[in-house]
Amino acid sequence: MAATHGEYRGYLRNAVDMEAGQHRFHPVQSSEPTYRPLLFGTLADGLLQVASSVAILLHLTGYLQEVDLSAAPHRPIEEVQTEPVLNALRDTRKPRKCKPSKENVPAAHLQIRTRQEYPKKGEPKAITIDWDEVHGYRHKMHYQKGKLLVMESGFYYVYAKTCFRYYRQGGPEDGGGQGGASPVDVSNTQLIQYIYHEIINQNSKALLLMKTGSTMRWNDTSYNMYCAQQGRGVKLNEGDALFVNVSNAWMLDPEGEGTYFGAIKLGN
């Protein structure tokens, strides 16, 4: 009977211990459903951050832009990109004018005509230069006796360059000293260039457009050279004329690279 009582007490102690053990480990078992949603949420946030970073990287590298443009296969990529900018810059209130081609612009460029005879008197009187019409360039402009004639009204740029030179007396380039001719005094020589505008509406009155030059003190025993150049814009009408006068024309350099005359139309 005594053994039976002891076994009963042992059974009770074991039952209590088992209940106590179950209560100790029960919170651990009940915590599993709490950690699983937390773990899944952390993984989902990480995936969203990675996807966002990849999307930003693709946008910066232009991949997403190319994908968007591919939705319009019938329009070139350049047209799709530039059309909004062109529409913003274009002013629809102003009519667009076609620019004239270069082939239709009135222009002329003439070089000095060689073998011209001018008196060697040393006189400062200005003489009109005669230009080489055959080897020059003219388009929609006439030429007559040293004058460029305007065929089309507009705003022109007119220019001219004249070079003067003098060799020592009796040299190969100068006729001085030959045939008993007396030498010319060049110690105080006026070398002046004038460009005139002859207006047909004012009875062909010539107006001085430009003037340049210098009074040179040259040595008559050595080589001397001086160049004058000028140009400006002017309004010309159909029928007007342009010409160049110089003093001491007998000293003009006969080379076309140094002495020339021309005009070109810039606009209306």
Express each pLDDT in 177-194 by its tens digit: 344 456 677 778 889 999
Percent of the chain surpassing pLDDT 70? 54
Q: How far is CA 130 from the centre of its chain?
A: 37
Q: What is the pLDDT of residue 39?
A: 60
Angle, nearest 10°, between helix axes 32-61 and 2-30?
20
Count of Cβ atoms closer than 10 Å to residue 168 Cβ: 16
Check if the beta carbon of residue 159 is closer than 8 Å to that of residue 206.
no
Check if the beta carbon of residue 150 is closer than 8 Å to that of residue 241.
yes
Q: In terms of pLDDT, which residue wins out, 95 or 154?
A: 154
Which domains, and CATH codes, for the chain? 2-89 (no CATH), 106-267 (2.60.120.40)
Band (pLDDT 50/70/90 cuts) for residue 176 is very low
3-state secondary structure of 12: helix
